[in-house]
A and B are shown apart, each in its own frame.
Chain A
């Protein structure tokens, strides 16, 4: 936990934000106010020189479309473009159509920082939707704080971060983990857990939280093994034998990337039937199953906030709209849905604030509700994360999940969990 955010990254008080906005106001007022009747004057909604005209507002999309991360980030780009086109079809934001500038982070963290600077300083984007890995977010965070930009970050991640300049539309670790463990302990009577992960910050932090929860909050439960493998590891036969020896009630797996495919294929080949051996993962969405093959993972449980098969009126509109835009074969995973929330939350916030100014958006964000979310309903917390429900799904052979459990209420985001560090 060496990269704890320092005090400056914490949210500033709302009052100070408002004052900053007022101080910058006179420059913006020089712009003549020629606007349509419905849309408020540009000088009123943009006092800090953002790329806002009388009928357009420019935002940025910053994801990897080349390199290793392109596999994962493509879905997020598609979802963000869908949301933007839907918002435009409804008349845009504050009477202005959204234009987007897309930049490629190329799976390279310094490139992300450089492109973020370009979007903020060169293009004056009013908001940026982007980043995927924690490494890329950590790389752009100082840029967004220095140049006062607004980032909507879609991935579920390890927590331990909070910034005035970021809205986290995915779940942080405790939201994703705790409900799933409670469920498996109660529903399956699980007592022993084997924690497994790829060797980097997200799986390690998540397993640390899982271990604390298992040991301190679940009755008579214990962790019988904890293992990490380098990213890209492809040989899991040995760890499968270790798991066999320990006979855990639950295998708790946070394996990512190409290793994921190798792990589930070898698990199946080793004769471990996931219909009998309980396995819970927080790293396999419908996107990953495309590579793993549904027949290799059927029976496993995944714990996250969204599944494509979710039944509610919002999702029943969202899935066909996504397929109509990006092809009938496309699948929608948790992060893709979270990326879709970004533009909508920004639109709702801008309308509440009556302004595109970053400080006003940051101050107006807490409390924003999005009732049209495919996952049901979300609300932005004071800490810029989302209140959301957590669900458990069971993988089917066709690569989709059956939702078997959903938390009755919204889970509170808690990026700095006490007693879990």
Chain B
């Protein structure tokens, strides 16, 4: 590559590596909640994007309240906002499961329609409460800067925060599902619902809380995305396609699969975007994913499930 010095190229490569990692974290954060719900109960939650935006609006409210009543705490309000976002989406998730989803477990295609309807309802509720326009979520200045690693390498701090959150949540989900007594019950229900019920596991309760946690994680993702994207009633739709792509490609029901697929897609996209144009990269990634899914319809990884 003529005209560029070696240090230039090295630092661009380093920054591009980080761009790929940040995209990876974003994908994992988006997809985890959906993967848990899909894996556990086979419900395709079309309203996932709206749970995400609920988290973003919680952050927006939190930033306003803190700025008005406790401006001294403004630099750290974001962490409280993340918890609040989780709580709000978790509660809404539980209510939705109780009102809507639990009546439809035997009709998986109807859940698709019902959650899609739910997403429209939620969008209109956001529009009525917060207005149709995008809202600007003001973040503490320290979160919107860049870390000067060397003279020529700058790393976005918000990217690092997203990565940190992703790691914490992934570890948390792992511990919950593979190391806790409750996780054992979840896996038992996933493996064989009838048998799990027969040995005394309350499958209804497990379903409800799993749905809630999946939604809660979407809320956290929404809070995190206020740092990188827009907050409007329909902004959830911007993320939903990528989310489904990651979950389906990874093989629904597998945590490892979700992570592996997020990694593959994010790296492919950020590398292709660098050498080709943005729209072209998107097309190539989608074509490849479609091709692989034709050869391997179950996705990258699958659990052995007795149906």
Contact = CB atoms under 8 A, between A and B. Distances in A.
Interface string A269-311: 1110000000000000001011111111000000000000000
B228 interface: yes
B227 interface: yes
A241 B145 contact: no
Contact of B234 (A68, A74, A292, A293): A68
Contacts of A266: 156, 228
A269 B158 contact: yes
A232 interface: yes
Interface in B49-91: none
Interface in B157-200: 157-159
Contacts of B234: 67-68, 258
Given A287-B133, A295-B144, A71 B232 contact: yes
A216 interface: no
Interface residues of A, number: 43
Interface in A43-82: 65-68, 70-71, 74
B15 A291 contact: no
B278 A229 contact: yes
Nearest first, the 6 A-B pairs at minimum CB distance are A291-B134, A271-B146, A261-B230, A237-B19, A271-B154, A269-B156
B7 to A, nearest CB: 12
B238 interface: yes
B274 A241 contact: yes
Interface of B: 4, 8, 12, 15-16, 18-19, 22-23, 26, 127, 132-138, 141, 144-146, 148, 154, 156-159, 225, 227-232, 234-235, 237-239, 269-270, 273-274, 277-279, 282
Contacts of B239: 234
A374 B267 CA distance: 50
5 contacts: A199-B278, A234-B229, A237-B19, A237-B270, A244-B12
A5 interface: no
B278 A262 contact: no
A227 B12 contact: no
B12 A241 contact: yes
B277 A291 contact: no
A268 interface: yes
Nearest to B22: A237
Nearest to A257: B230
B279 A296 contact: no
A237 B12 contact: no
| Residue among B23, B132, B274 facing the most chain A CB atoms (10 A cut-off) | B132
A173 B64 CA distance: 39
B16 A71 contact: no
Contacts of B18: 237
Contacts of A67: 234
B12 A245 contact: yes
Contacts of B12: 241, 244-245
Nearest to B276: A227
Given A68-B234, A244-B15, A199 B279 contact: yes
Contacts of B138: 293, 295
Contact of B23 (A199, A228, A237, A258): A237
Nearest to A196: B278
A229 B132 CA distance: 24
Nearest to A197: B278
Nearest to B278: A229
Nearest to A64: B132
A222 interface: no
A323 interface: no
Contacts of A258: 134, 229-230, 232, 234-235, 238
